[in-house]
Amino acid sequence: ARRWARRLPRELLPLVGAVNAPLERLDQAFRLQREFVADAAHELRTPLTAITLQAQLLERAASPAESADALVELKRGIARSTQLVERLLTLARLDATNDGEPAHPLDLGALVEDCLVSLRPRARDRDIALASRIEPAVQVEGIDTALRSLVDNLLDNALRYTPRGGTIEVEVIPRRHGALLRVCDSGPGIPDADRARVFDRFYRVPGTRGEGSGLGLAIVKRVADLHGATLEITQSPLGGACFEVEFGASRTALPP
């Protein structure tokens, strides 16, 4: 207990605690908001500068072929910026949750199947084998939109780092008091030293190729924490990374 609290009459401690708790939550909300604004300003500067340069190249194009190439790059830059903004907004909503959408029983397998629908065409385009083993009627207590963000980002991460001709495996397995979601890939994997840091916002493993916002796994971690789920990275039997999310150990973080 804090030193000043020790000097208060015992009868006043519950009242002081009741007053301080919402003030501490408000302070945390302001801190998260400040961090979000600072992160957004920093991370949006680079893609917006790139879009400006790409637009200038399009204006200066000397031939239809150069115009077409510049337009392709401009569209890619806009798509990257759009994805970054969407993920920043997702994190902002998750940071503010607890009083939003209530938790309720969900069929985790059905939710994952829905998310796989949009992934399959992208996997086919890259000649990636997508295998799934989803047990029926595996229920968890959760928030639908948040869990969809978790699954979508895990699948997107696996697809992003699995090379052409590789494999992704997705499993939903019942547990005694919950469920296990496992997403494994045949990509380069994640070194042990980086496994804790990959969930930090905007962190990317040094030497990582390809494009990414560094926010996808931060969203996964935030949703897992919100649901009281455990999140672990292991070595995939396919040679890459395997993300395991186990639900059911604790539900104290879920809103009523």
- Determine the Cα–Cα distance for residues 87 and 187; give it in Å rounded to an integer: 23
pLDDT tens profile 107-129:
999 999 999 998 899 899 999 99
State residue 89's pLDDT score.
72
* Contact between residue 114 and residue 152 where contact means Cβ atoms under 8 Å apart: no
State residue 21's pLDDT score.
63
pTM more than 0.85 = no
SS3 (DSSP) at 159: helix
Mean pLDDT on 69-93 = 74
Mean pLDDT on 46-61 = 78
* Contact between residue 74 and residue 55 where contact means Cβ atoms under 8 Å apart: yes
Mean pLDDT on 31-60 = 69
State residue 256's pLDDT score.
44
Distances 11 to 7, 16, 200 between C-alpha atoms, Å:
12, 10, 42
State residue 35's pLDDT score.
63
* Contact between residue 211 and residue 82 where contact means Cβ atoms under 8 Å apart: no
Q: What is the dihedral of CA 143, 149, 151, 153, to 10 degrees?
A: -160
Q: Which has the minimum average pLDDT: 21-25, 152-156, 163-167, 181-185? A: 21-25
Q: Is the dihedral of CA 150, 154, 160, 166 positive or negative?
A: negative
pLDDT tens profile 181-230:
999 999 988 888 888 888 887 666 665 655 555 678 888 898 898 889 99
- Determine the Cα–Cα distance for residues 146 and 227; give it in Å rounded to an integer: 9
Q: What is the dihedral of CA 247, 167, 72, 89, to 10 degrees?
A: 0
Q: Where are the alpha helices (DSSP H) in the chain?
A: 3-6, 13-60, 64-96, 108-125, 144-161, 216-226
Which among 125, 140, 97 has a CA at the least distance from the CA of 256? Answer: 97
Confidence of residue 251 (pLDDT cuts 50, 70, 90): very low
pLDDT tens profile 4-35:
555 666 666 666 666 666 666 666 655 656 66
Mean pLDDT of the chain: 78
Mean pLDDT on 60-80 = 82
* 256's tokens: 């009523």
Which among 89, 84, 142 has a CA at the least distance from the CA of 112? Answer: 142
- Residues facing residue 104 across a β-bridge: 142
State residue 244's pLDDT score.
95
SS3 (DSSP) at 225: helix
State residue 186's pLDDT score.
94
Contacts of 119 (CB under 8 A, 6+ apart): 130, 155, 156, 159
Q: Which residues of 72-101 are buried (b: 16+ CB within 10 A; e: fewer)?
A: ebbeebeebbebbeebbebbbebbebeeee
